[in-house]
Each structure stands twice: as structure tokens, then as C-alpha cells.
Amino acid sequence: MAVQTVSSSTPEPASTGADQVSLGPAVSLSCRECGERVPLGPSFACTACFGPLEVAYDLPVGDPEALRKRIESGPSSIWRYAPLLPVPEDVADKPNLNPGLTKLVKADNLARELGVTGSLYVKDDSGNPTHSFKDRVVAIAVEAARAFGFTTLSCSSTGNLAGAVGAAAARAGLRSCVFIPHDLEQGKVVMAAVYGGELVGIEGTYDDVNRFCSELIGDPIGEGWGFVNVNLRPYYAEGSKTLAYEICEQLGWRLPDQIVVPIASGSQLTKIDKGLRELIALGLVEDRPYKIFGAQAEGCSPVSQAYKNGHDVVRPVRPDTIAKSLAIGNPADGPYVLDIARRTGGAVEDVDDARVVEAIKLLARTEGIFAETAGGVTVGVTKKLIDDGLLDPSLETVVLNTGDGLKTLDAVAPTTGPTAIIRPNLDSFREAGLA
């Protein structure tokens, strides 16, 4: 496959002297709106129509059995799917965090509580190196940053991304400088700072942080900076496909009937759909219908509101919810999420903060999985979708938990604690009514 040439309008690569990049099966970027093709580079918007760019591939079609074997004998991380990702072939040999291949937990106890008679699974991405799904997307963005010669890794973050970028940059030997809203949970702030990069709190919402980063990219100050979710966004986004690949492989190379996915910008949901469609196209799974459901917190539910009102456009909101990792008031991929929910026969739903907390505790109590608020959102929405008859409890369903409860202790701390505090003797234990 031919190596692509980086167009001269992209920022000067810092180093190699070569102006070519090799990102495995990726051949170009293509506009999701008008199909315009542009060479691989740090571009994210179509110059013809301003539509978002995504990675286009020359995928290894032909022998599904050989591809399946190659994947199965690959590394125990997302790199087993390197033939389907915009990364160099030797990606697994470079210093990186090797995320992915997290547990797909058969959740029979939760199924019983929710009245699910089919099989219910939780895809538990809290098991990633920095305890959220963001390690997947950052790992791909790092490869793009390396290929384009960026020396500083950056992002606008609702919390988890900042930690994932800090850790990945530390391991890759890149400088990092990341931006978050100043009022995030302590667990997220500490996680973002501990890897030694620069962490900047911005007085404003995530959407303000994001606007600030766009300004920085346009300014000479931002030269040599790779913003994983802005100018590297097309590559970053592809990392979410690995969730789809893993779920199907862990089910024995089968599509689930239904998947419940949290929505922040909507990128993860749209790329899970892309990943499933690729597996079908490559003959790795049988082609049959699946439904994708989107989950939001009521206090930041612009996509859910648009879905319920039958709208094609998403009206921005000002977020107010404990599910801060999902608090994007102006989700870039909102319209695509609406398309996918409607096309697959899924839905988009939201739950209030009290139900998010209830759902976190329900998942912990039934399956021993302590989810962050985003996981409370997906489990809470799953329950609501079943109660409303929108999700079929007799089918096979996968619910995503995208982050670790230790990062959002504030959500459950006020209603969770010791059953009793006693003196160290049996009388005291008896008096507490525990004997």
C-alpha cells in the first residue's frame, strides 16, 4: 500500500526530514459530509464544507479466517487490532500504555434485578491503565502525534482525558500540557497532575475550555502541539472502534443485539458503530441487525432531548450534572449519534443525578463493579429503557462502564459509609445490632 504524502499546508514536522507518514492501513482523511479526501495530516475539518474529517482505510479484505487468527495471536491489548487502526505496524514495540482487552463481565445478578431474561454483559473499561476508556483513544492519537512530529501532547478534557494524555505522554517521552474546567472532582485533578505534565484549570465549562484550545491551535504558541481531541481528533476517535472489536471477539466473534453507550461528544458511540460495520464488511462477524442506545445525564442531555423531540440538530445546553465526564453541552458528534440511534432502531435516553447514584450502587452491589458517574448513567438509562419498553430484555445486551468509581467518590460518599463505628470488643459489635 502506498505511503501518503503530508500536504505542505500542514504544520512543519519537527524532525525526520521526510514529509511522509505511514499509519498502517490508513490511506487518507475523508469528509463525513461531502466525501472530500485529504492527505493524512493534523487536519480535522473539511476545507470544502467544514464537515468533520475521519480516517479512510485500505482494510485487509479477503480472508476473514486469516485475519481472525492474526488478531487472536496478537498482543493482549488494542494493538491486536492494529491491522484495522491508523497506527504503524510495529506500534506494540513502542513505549505506550498498551490499553484495552478489558473484561466483558457476564452480569447475571444485575440482569435479575433489571428483569433481563436474555444475557447481560458489562464491558468494564475501568480496567484500563488510567482507569477510563480514554486510554484507547489517546494511544491512537499518540501515534499520529509521533508521525506528524508534534512534541507537546495536549487536550481539552472533562477529566479522564487529561489523565490519559498525561500518562501516555510521560510514557512516550513527550511534553504534555492539558486543560480542564477548574471545578472537577479531586480524583480527576490529581490523576491528571500526577504524571508530571502541565495541568491548567480554566474558569469555565468544558465548552469554554474547548474554545480556548481552538484559539491556541490557531496561534503561534500552539505550534508543535498535538491536541488529541482537536487537531488529532480523526485519529483519536478511531480508538473507540476497539471497544466494538473487543466486545465481538469476547462474545466469540458475534455481534450483540443491543449496546448501551454513554454520550459526551458522541464520538465513542459513532465509532463503535463504525467498528461494528467494519467487522461485518470484513466478514469477521455475521451480518445481522444490532441496536445502539445512547445514554446521557438529564443535567446535560442535548442529544437525548433532540432525539425525543424528533430533531436532527442538537441545541447546546449549559451542563449541570454530577456526571462531569459526560458534561459536554455542545456535542460535536450529536447529529451522527441521532442518525445511528434511529438507523439501528435504538434510542437516546437520560437519567437524573439521583438515579445515576442509585445505578452506581446497584452495579456495585450486584456485580462488584464500582463505576464512575458515566457508568451510573449507562446502567441507569438501561433500567429506564427496559421500564419504558424501548430495550428488549429478552435479547443479548452489552452495557458500557467507561470509568472507575474511585475518580468520582463525591457522587456516592454522602450516602455510603461504615455501617457502624464500634469499640474493638464483641459487646460493642452486639450493641450495634450486627451479631
Ligand X SMILES: *Cc1c(COP(=O)(O)O)cnc(C)c1O
Interface residues with Zn ion (CB under 5 A) are 31, 33-34, 36, 46, 48-49, 51
Spatial contact of 287 and 257, defined as CB atoms under 8 Å apart: no
Instruction: Indicate which of Zn ion, ligand X, none lies near residue 403 (CB less than 5 to 8 Å, by partner kind).
Output: ligand X
Would you count residue 130 as binding ligand X (CB under 6 A)? no
Residue 52 partner contact from ligand X, Zn ion, none using kind-dependent CB cut-offs of 5 to 8 Å = none
At its nearest, how many Å lie between ligand X and the CB of residue 274?
Answer: 12
| Cα distance between residue 29 and residue 234, in whole Å | 8
Q: What are phi and psi of 17, to 5 degrees?
A: 85, -30
372 near ligand X (CB under 6 A): yes
**Rounded to whole angstroms, how far apart are CA atoms 72 and 435?**
51
Q: Does 265 bind ligand X (CB under 6 A)?
A: yes
**Which DSSP symbol is given to 322?**
S
User: How far is 102 from 312, CA to CA, in rounded Å?
Assistant: 34
Residue 30 beta carbon to Zn ion: minimum distance, rounded to whole angstroms: 9
Query: Would you mind telling me the total number of residues written for the chain in this entry?
Result: 435
Angle between helix 160-172 and helix 134-147 axes, rounded to 10 deg = 40
Which is nearer to ligand X, 22 or 344 (by Cβ)? Answer: 344
| Least Cβ distance, residue 222 to ligand X (angstroms) | 21
Residue with smaller CB distance to Zn ion, 44 or 148: 44
- Binders of ligand X among residues 142 to 181 (CB under 6 A) are 160
Residue 22: C-alpha distances to residues 7, 12, 41, 182, 275 (Å): 14, 16, 11, 38, 21
Site size with ligand X, rule: CB under 6 A: 17
**Of the candidate residues 4, 30, 205, 268, the single one contacting ligand X (CB under 6 A):** 268
CB of 213 to ligand X, least distance (A): 14
Is residue 229 within 8 Å of 160, Cβ to Cβ?
A: no
DSSP result, 212-269? HHHHHHHSGGGTTEEETTTTTHHHHHHTTHHHHHHHHHHTTS---SEEEEE-SSSHHH
Residue in this structure with the C-alpha cell 519537527, named with its chain if needed: 14
CB of 209 to ligand X, least distance (A): 13
Contacting residue, 24, 99, 222, 403, with ligand X by CB under 6 A: 403
When binding is defined by CB under 6 A, the residue of 374, 379, 381, 411 that contacts ligand X is 374
Report the residue number, 136 or 146, with the smaller CB distance to ligand X.
136
Q: Given the rule CB under 6 A, which of 61-69, 83-91, 132-140, 198-206 is the region that contacts ligand X?
A: 132-140
What Å distances lie between residue 371 and 132, 166, 395, CA to CA? 10, 22, 24
> Could you tell which of Zn ion, ligand X, none binds residue 283, using a CB distance below 5 to 8 A set by kind?
none
Interface residue list for ligand X (CB under 6 A)? 132-134, 160, 262-268, 325-326, 372, 374, 402-403
